[in-house]
Each structure stands twice: as structure tokens, then as C-alpha cells.
Amino acid sequence: MTVKQMENGFYSALGTPTDDNGKLVEKSFAKEIEFMITSGAAGMLCMGSMGKMESIRNSEYSKIADKCVKAVAKRVPVLVGVMDCSIARVLDRIDALGDIDIDGVVTTVPFYAKVNATSIINFFTHISKKSKYPVFIYDLPSVTQSPVTADILKHLMKIQNIKGVKTANINMILDLMRNDQIRPGFSVFYSGLDSFDAAIQAGIKRNLDGMFTCTPYNSRMMYENLEDQNSEKISFHLNNILKLRNIFLGEDVLAAYSYAMELIGCPGNYHCDYAEPASEKLKENIYTCMKNIKEI
């Protein structure tokens, strides 16, 4: 399997629209992907944390990955989330993908209980040996309780089938860059949305987040001519994205996101099936914001 080069730019953590029965809303999903392609996304993460990976029905899992790959049609790299709480269960996820032509799988540390450094290294080492796809580490300590530290990452970077990391730890990235400790061909994706502009100026130019999917206009404008580093333009459009994200934080984030996606023409339940929909007041605030930042 030939892995696509992970270029600089923004990587979209796709939302997964489902109906009331947990089935994929295919038309909305395809439209979301096309929005991201035409907005200039450098790649896609299918069924990450924004894509409800942990709550997707088993019967829909491989179908969603397949629909994503077919919609992208090899135009950019596609990564697929395989997060779970044991090596065996992650490998089951990978096996469920069959022979779908993706560029890698993404997994967090197990998230049911806190895991020590040795166990984290064992977890990723064993998965990388058994995985038919390249493996990307997803550092998400706010959920997993267990951060991927620089020492852990230095060890895991020695394993050739581990191809990258997604993390919001900007200090760790900068320390590794400063000391020239990032292995050639190892891709670092920064996921700290609030400081994407600062990260870009510091030379971190692969940024991954789910907010890009509901702000295609501002995402495109923010990353246009990335190498020129127009700091004022980058910060302006990032601030627009953050304005909308901060409104989402008033209630259930994914329920709010569902309404935003509906406004751009990609309806569906992007939130978990137990979550309440956004309130009418929040919907009004989302609508006003999206008009002001030119997303609708």
C-alpha cells in the first residue's frame, strides 16, 4: 500500500450524519466531503472524535469508511478512526475495514481507565505490528485520561508503521522540532484550534479539527496561500471559526454542530443519540454568527 504524502494545510475531522436509527445519511456525508475538497482540505479523518467513532453502530462502521473513500476518490489522504479500549478490539475495528483503500488508521490510548507509559507503548507497538494500515496516534488526554508524552512519542517514532501523531500539545511539538527529533516521514497534526495561527507562524502547518467542516469558507480563506503566512488574514479567519465554536460550547457541542451543518445543507444527527437537540435560542445565535462570518 502506497501512503500519500501528508501535505501542509488543514485536515478535516469529518462529522458523521446519521438518521434517528443510527444509519448514515449518505447524501449529507458526500456533500460535507465535497465542501472540504473544494475548500482546499489537505486530508480527511473519518470517524474521529468529531465523527462519533465511539458511538457508531457496528453495522454502519465499514460502510461509512467505504462511502468516505469513494466520495474522496483519492483526491486527498483519508484516515479512519479505530479507537477502542484494548488491542484486540482495535484490531477488530481494523479487520472490519476489509480491504478499503485508506491511508491509515487513527487510535487514541485506551479510554476506559488511566494507562501508564509502558502500557501505552505496548498498546501502540502491538497494534502497529498487526495493522495492515499505517497507524497514527491520537493524543486526547481530556478523554483518555492518559497523555502521550514526548518520551512515549520518541519511543514510538522508532516504529516504522507508526506514521504520525495528532496532538494539541504545542510545547511538545515545538520541543521535538527544536531538537530535530521528528523522524523523517512522521507527520505531526496539531489539533489545538485556539492557537492554530500561532502554530502556523511557528512552522506547524498540518492542522486537524472538526470545526473546519462547518466553516468551509473561513477554512479556505485561512489556509489560502499558506506558505505566505499572512498572519493577519490567518488570525482573522481563525477568530471567525472560534466565534462559532464558542457559541457551540453553550450547550452540547455536537448537537449545536448538527444545527450548523444543517444550515450549510448537510442535515443529520452529528450528535450522540442520547443528546438533546440545540435549543431555539442557541440555534438563533448559531444562525446569526454563521451569517456574520459568511458561512451562510
Confidence of residue 227 (pLDDT cuts 50, 70, 90): confident
Report, as an integer, the average pLDDT of 254-264. 98
Residue 5, number of CB atoms within 10 A of its CB: 11
> Does the pLDDT at position 228 exceed 90?
no
> Does the pLDDT at position 225 exceed 70?
yes
Any domain includes 239: no
Contact 139, 115 (CB under 8 A): no
Could you report the per-residue pLDDT of 265-279, keeping only the tens digit for each? 999 999 999 999 999
What is the per-residue pLDDT for 1?
52
Report yes or no on whether pTM surpasses 0.85: yes
Any domain includes 245: no
Domain count of the chain? 1
> Does the pLDDT at position 115 exceed 90?
yes
Any domain includes 62: yes
Confidence of residue 5 (pLDDT cuts 50, 70, 90): confident
What is the per-residue pLDDT for 226?
87
Could you report the per-residue pLDDT of 37-71, keeping only the tens digit for each? 999 999 999 999 999 999 999 999 999 999 999 99
Of 126, 132, 71, nearest in space to 105 by CA? 132
Per the structure, the complete domain to which residue 98 belongs is given by 9-230
Averaged pLDDT of the chain: 96
Confidence of residue 2 (pLDDT cuts 50, 70, 90): low
Any domain includes 23: yes
What is the per-residue pLDDT for 3?
60
Contact 269, 17 (CB under 8 A): yes
Any domain includes 114: yes
What is the per-residue pLDDT for 59?
96
In this structure, what DSSP letter does residue 103 have?
Answer: S
CATH number where 223 lies? 3.20.20.70
Provide the greatest CA pair distance for the chain. Answer: 51
Q: Please give the Cα distance from 191 to 239 (Å, whole number).
A: 15
Least confident of 153-162, 188-197, 227-236, 266-275: 227-236
Any domain includes 126: yes
